[in-house]
Structure 1
Amino acid sequence: MDREQARFILKSIRADGSDASDADFAEALAVAASDRELGEWLGRERARDAAFAAALGRVDLPPELREEVLACFDVHAAIEFDEADHALASGLGSIRPPAGLRQEILIAMEKSEPAEVVRPSRWKYLAIPLAAAAGIVLAMVLSKPGETSSTVPIAGVVPANSGTAVPISHVENSAISTLESPGFTLDLSNPDHEVLFNFIRNSGRACPGGCVPKGLEDIPGIGCRTLDVDGKEGAIVCFRRGEGDAVHLVVFREADVKASLPTCGHPKLGKHGDWTVARWQQDGRVFLLLGHLPEEQLDQLF
């Protein structure tokens, strides 16, 4: 199996682990584990899905919405179908694809000449997340009273009880995807650091505490929000450096993140697209500091 075949299969992998025993998914995951480019792509996909799932998780549904949806179903259930409808449904249900069809499609993918790419309109791109959101929200409102949204499997999101530490690259990808999201919001807006830190602490998440870089101690906060990555719980604190200029501090528990990093005074600096990133760990926590500024300016904050 080559990279593109593996990518094609991994696009439909489910996050609840039910595909783990399937030989095709297992082989595709093995390819991703040995192929850096494919592995990074899979990490970005999971990060985007996690950010999207987190945004949906913050939506407050009206308590009467479930009953209204079920009432609509009751109305449509009264519609009578004629023989043609039943015949069509029966015919579609009896279709069984040939056993070798999947392999023939993959072979055809290998042999096909590259075709001219026709870019879909912006409306088509918009329709994809809207359709996904509609399906997830419908599943949420149809769940029984007392069930949480975590009972609804969401593609690309590992259940929260996963015991495996996540790579620091996954945390970085998810944080940047969240910050770049058009729907980015803060759970709490306040310039006072202690107010923001107390909010994070009371949320049961790792708090920055005394590990904040010295250059951030005297500048006002903007706000904070929680951040979940593959079932691991962290937080983002935003600081205002100047007019229209901000840096973002990400914190997770050290046990939840795979990383080997220096301490606060000597962070590991690097670039991630347009972002400059400083990474360090201290007192049982892993930190990222992100901003749109040169490396030397970010380094000066330490």
Structure 2
Amino acid sequence: MDKEEARFILRCFRPDGSDAAEPEFAEALQFAAADRDLGDWLAKERAQDAEFSSMLGRLPLPEGLREEILAGLAAERGDLPQADEIDAVLIGGLAMISPPRGLRDEIVEAMGRSVPNTNPSGSTNRSSSWWRFGVPLAAAAGIALAFMVQSEPPAENSGPLVSISDAATSDSTGSAVPVSFVEDQAIATLESPDFALDLKNPDQKALFKFIRGKGRACPSGGVPRKLEAEPSIGCRVIEVNGKPGAIVCLRRGEGEVVHLVVFRRDDVLGDLPSSGHPLINKHGQWAVAHWEKGNRAFMLLGRTDTEHLEELF
């Protein structure tokens, strides 16, 4: 073992010293004890690790941060890689899972008190340490791949991207879908990491023409008053239990994005108020407005408070 190999191994040395019994770490530690420069480096590394661990444990994470990041990236870029039907169901389902409170702290604590893997004879399993060496490298590779994917937006979709609402709940029964279920599936689609836009265009009329061409109910004439002159981002056609619909992503002001969902009225089950008096409620981090106009059922979703959403009508 040379100095650089010892340094590489010691980068993975856990602060509690539980790796000291493993042969690779024991040899590297002996090398550090005999080499002054390597020993000084190891002391500084362990001090920095301890400080970082302490700071990480004190860092408060805002509730809903994960969902806000995913929704913001999906709405602004619409350039995530395409997924096949099975991938979309899995990814969409995972996006709907809310991790229990305190899970992060439990993971950090478990990492701190984990022990070396030993075989029945009592000797340390050498492969376990090399597995840990690979974890940081694999994580770094995953992060690099994520940046590569984000930097290469795909061409606009020629058809609707399958989402959790498309693949997991689609049927051909012909019965209307409860408005609450449409709301759940619209939010799940927007929060899914594989969400992408079928067409990007700042002109609302261009999006409405595209939606009509896909055989969906057109949002034209149903856009809330204060959004009529605002630029659009793009649109996406969707299905919920076999019922065709569409989502139009609209921009209002700096950084604010709202999503207009439209279905045929006969396909949505439930009482809906007229467009001048929408029903507005909260759904987790989302404010949601429901109304009907003509033969269409509308829904407006935004990550804001209900009062702000009401101002748009």
Q: TM-score, normalised by structure 2?
A: 0.47
Structure whose CA Rg is larger: 2
